[in-house]
Structure 1
Amino acid sequence: MRQLKYSKELYSKTALIKAAYNFTDKAYLHLDADNDYYYVSIVSKNENQEVSEKEFENEILAQSARHQIYLQTKNIRELMLARAVATSVVTSTEKNTELDTEDETEYNEDEILRDWFDSND
């Protein structure tokens, strides 16, 4: 069993958990913390294959970068989603006008039951 130590100043809890999750297929992991550090204990699931500490360090770094990008772009993503949803909203007056138009249209039963191929040959 190896125990790794990561500073809370450099890495977020979210990045640590995501990195650990990505290693659950290769190893058993235990996470712990004190006031200044996160501790990660790694035990390989396969006794014949070692889990590289360097791979885990690369993964926690990648997850930290992803988390920072997520935080930096959160506002723009929320704005884009709000604009996309707002353009698809139908106001109640528009909806009522459309429904009223449909109700005024009268359909002749012969037009509805007529075969398209018969009338368009």
Structure 2
Amino acid sequence: MSFCKPFPVLKTMFRPEVVLKAAYQFLDRCYIHFGEDEKYWLVYLQPKENPSVENFQALFENELLLQAVRYVTYQQTKSLREILLARAMATSMIDQTEPLKRVEQEENSEKDSLRDILQDWYALHEE
């Protein structure tokens, strides 16, 4: 299978993860081959159907930009997502006390509070 002219992607501008994610979006429409030299990632796109290669290169450039922005956003919000996850996990911890003991304690505390409520106020406060 012969591949079309390579589409050069600057290594200093786009991380390899971004190039791979952008290429992944084209797997259903193109055969993709990668190469590299000292300055560029070389992406070869060959359409599976007969659309123009130039159109795919323009779409690939847009997808590179989209994936680069996603990567930057991911990096900028990573610590916030970790904090939120840690807090969610901490507040959903399972109670380690035995269930029967916990129920008994709750029942005893309810009984004590009922005893306090059902007492005659005048009997408690007469001098």
Normalised-by-shorter TM-score class: 0.7 to 0.9
Tell me, in whole angstroms, the C-alpha distance in 2 between the residues paired with 1:35 and 1:72: 29
Does residue 18 (structure 1) correspond to residue 21 (structure 2)? The answer is yes
CA drift at 1:50: 2.0
Does residue 50 (structure 1) correspond to residue 61 (structure 2)? The answer is no
CA drift at 1:35: 2.9
Larger Rg over CA atoms:
2
CA drift at 1:32: 1.4
Q: Which residue does the alignment assign to 2:113?
A: none
CA drift at 1:103: 7.6
The 8 Å contact of residues 2 and 43 in structure 1, kept in 2 or not, is answered as: no
Q: Which amino acid aligns with 1:5?
A: P
CA drift at 1:34: 2.5
**Any unmatched runs of 5+ in structure 2?**
108-127
Tell me, in whole angstroms, the C-alpha distance in 2 between the residues paired with 1:76 and 1:67: 15
CA drift at 1:29: 0.7
Q: Which amino acid aligns with 1:38?
A: W
Identical-residue share of aligned pairs (%): 35
Q: Which amino acid aligns with 1:83?
A: R
Tell me, in whole angstroms, the C-alpha distance in 2 between the residues paired with 1:8 and 1:75: 26
SS of the residue corresponding to residue 6 of structure 2 reads strand
Q: Which residue does the alignment assign to 1:73?
A: 77
CA drift at 1:33: 1.7
Q: Which residue does the alignment assign to 1:115?
A: none
SS of the residue corresponding to residue 46 of structure 2 reads strand
Q: Which amino acid aligns with 2:66?
A: A
Does residue 88 (structure 1) correspond to residue 92 (structure 2)? The answer is yes
The 8 Å contact of residues 19 and 56 in structure 1, kept in 2 or not, is answered as: yes
How many pairs are equivalent? 101
Q: Which amino acid aligns with 2:48?
A: K
**Could you report, residue by residue, the CA deviation over 1:42-69 in whole angstroms, capped at 9, with x for unpaired residues?**
111012x224111110001100110111
SS of the residue corresponding to residue 100 of structure 1 reads helix
Tell me, in whole angstroms, the C-alpha distance in 1 between the residues paired with 2:23 and 2:40: 15
Q: Which residue does the alignment assign to 2:12?
A: 9
TM superposition score normalised by structure 1: 0.75
TM superposition score normalised by structure 2: 0.72
SS of the residue corresponding to residue 2 of structure 1 reads coil
